[in-house]
A and B are shown apart, each in its own frame.
Chain A
Amino acid sequence: MALPTTHVSRARSTSASFRLSILQFLADPQWLIPSMIAPIIFGLVSFELFRSAGPYYLTYAILGAGMMSMWGQTLYGSGWATGQDRTWGTLEPTIQSPTPYLYVVLGRVLWNVVSGLIGGGIVYLVVVAVAGGPPSLPNPVGFVLLFLFVMVSLAAVGVVFAAFYVYTRYAGFIQNIGEFAFYVGTGCMFPVVLLPFWAGPIALIFPPTWALDALRYNSIPGYTGFSWGYSWDLVGAVATTAAYAAVAGSIFHRVERHVLEEGSLDEY
């Protein structure tokens, strides 16, 4: 017997999820602090270590710390929301609701990106205050546009991670134990080309690696990143981000079906 079709607005679900994320953040804003404290400290430590290495190393420190803040928010935020759903017992009803879970997650990831941007901005202000002035940017407009694109690439990664976090009970482990590995692997504070050769292909799986390399080419004169240069970095960043966005929907569909069949969502 065919069930009656339920009409739901996916946009409204995403919007409601986004709004709820803001309200939860306002009720308990502590989550901005963990994603900011480490990047601010890493930014200041890196600034101190880079101090004698030339004027553009301030840009390295700021970009790296800002990126770490946004990465942290994406990595933690996506997993935390799903983990909390599981703890509170709201994951099953949410998955069973007519709206695909992807659109609920999308709202959360969007908020994570926005709050990550806020965190990145605060990191920027602190490091600039300590350094005594902002870094010189040869192409500020290009910098801003690329920075926004880095956020989009992080959002794409956040959605795919969130799908994985529905499956795994090890989200906390990945977030806490793998934190530095992500920072190293995506070249948050230094170019990925400094890593051993075998690390390159792994790093290139992640869109932010490409986008951040392009951002450095744009903002640091004389920067030596990937040998293929700025333009191919952009192509790679757009292609990997599109690939993540494309697979996100399909992964979520499969994950939803699988967990409904298994019936083990509430186990943790």
Chain B
Amino acid sequence: MASVSRTSEGNHPSFWGTFWTNAVFAPRTTLGFMRVDFVLGTVFVIPMTQMVFFAFVVRLGGGGASEIAYTAIGNAVATVTYSSVFSVCQTTDQEKNQATLEHLLVSPANRLALYMGRGLIPILISFCTVAVGLTYAALFFGVTIVPGTIPTIAVSIILTAFAMVGFGLLLGGVALYLRTSIILGNIFLFVGLLLSGVNFPLSSLPLAFQYAGDALPLTWGIAAIRASIAGDPIGTVSILWFAVVLSALASYGAAIGLWRVFERRALVTGSIARF
């Protein structure tokens, strides 16, 4: 996907040109779930239905108001996976499907700008999804949000959205080698419900599952948002923010690395880019 603005060096599109072109075009071309009805459904419907589902499961299991509130916060944050992971990881599939991947691979576009640009709109939608989910949690599920904690919560949500989109791009990088990303997308769409402390503390899982959970950005994002809502000291929340940022950088870094590896293989074999 070539950029419209170019540098004086010739055919190398500028970083920001590539970034902006991808930010504008990717939602219309390669990202999944980006029709207006899907976006509205993702932001307003899915958080409510998912929270209701698990709230009733908790109630049937004998949980009280505090357990329901715990689950509501977890699921409000977990719905971020629809717009950040499931939508974003489909970008490679769509490129293959539309037969544009081969052109993309031979273009001089900066890969980091390309990836970051594609992630811009999903980050915004992810932010809205979690914000709406937490509003539902406060209105209908007994979660108390003190106004003074809102700035900290907002920062936590932004960092979580950023990290989760990075994770989606990482899966998109893996999908370059696969026939489709749908399987990966579906796995990571829901696996956080089990491994990220969404519905119950991680400590109740076997140790191996706890380690697996620690590797997911969602785990740290949920922990940061829970700490922010609880009004924990900024020092405590900062450590969690650092963990979220670290997981985000790891995801973006791995995504770029994977892209480079598979790009080389694609150019050598001439077949990876095909659907």
Contacts and interface: CB of A to CB of B under 8 A. Distances in A.
Nearest to B71: A49
Q: Which of B61, B62, B182, B191 has the most CB of A within 10 A?
A: B61
Given A46-B57, A190-B57, A177 B194 contact: no
Nearest to A46: B57
Given A41-B190, A184-B49, A176 B56 contact: no
A38 B37 CA distance: 23
Contacts of B183: 30, 33-34
Q: Which of A170, A176, A180 has the most CB of B within 10 A?
A: A180
Contacts of A46: 57, 61
Given A41-B193, A46-B57, A173 B41 contact: yes
B191 to A, nearest CB: 6
A170 B42 CA distance: 14
Interface in B59-116: 59-63
Given A45-B199, A49-B199, A173-B41, A180 B60 contact: no
B33 interface: yes
Interface residues of A, number: 34
A144 interface: no
Interface in A31-72: 33-34, 37-38, 41-42, 44-46, 48-53, 57, 60
A45 B193 contact: yes
A190 B56 contact: yes
Contact of A48 (B46, B182, B200): B200
Contacts, number: 97
A41 B52 CA distance: 17
B187 A180 contact: no
B38 interface: yes
Contacts of A131: none
A33 B186 contact: yes
Contacts of B50: 180
Q: Which of B57, B193, B194 has the most CB of A within 10 A?
A: B57
Given A173-B37, A173-B38, A194 B56 contact: yes
B41 to A, nearest CB: 3
Nearest to B192: A41
A131 B60 CA distance: 18
Interface of A: 30, 33-34, 37-38, 41-42, 44-46, 48-53, 57, 60, 170, 172-173, 176-181, 183-184, 189-191, 194-195
21 contacts: A30-B182, A34-B186, A37-B187, A37-B190, A38-B186, A41-B190, A45-B193, A48-B200, A49-B57, A49-B58, A49-B63, A49-B200, A52-B62, A173-B38, A176-B38, A177-B45, A178-B49, A180-B53, A184-B53, A189-B57, A194-B60
Given A45-B54, A176-B41, 10 more contacts: A34-B182, A38-B186, A45-B57, A48-B199, A173-B35, A178-B45, A179-B49, A184-B53, A184-B56, A195-B56
Query: A-B pairs with the 3 shortest C-beta distances?
Result: A177-B41, A180-B49, A49-B61
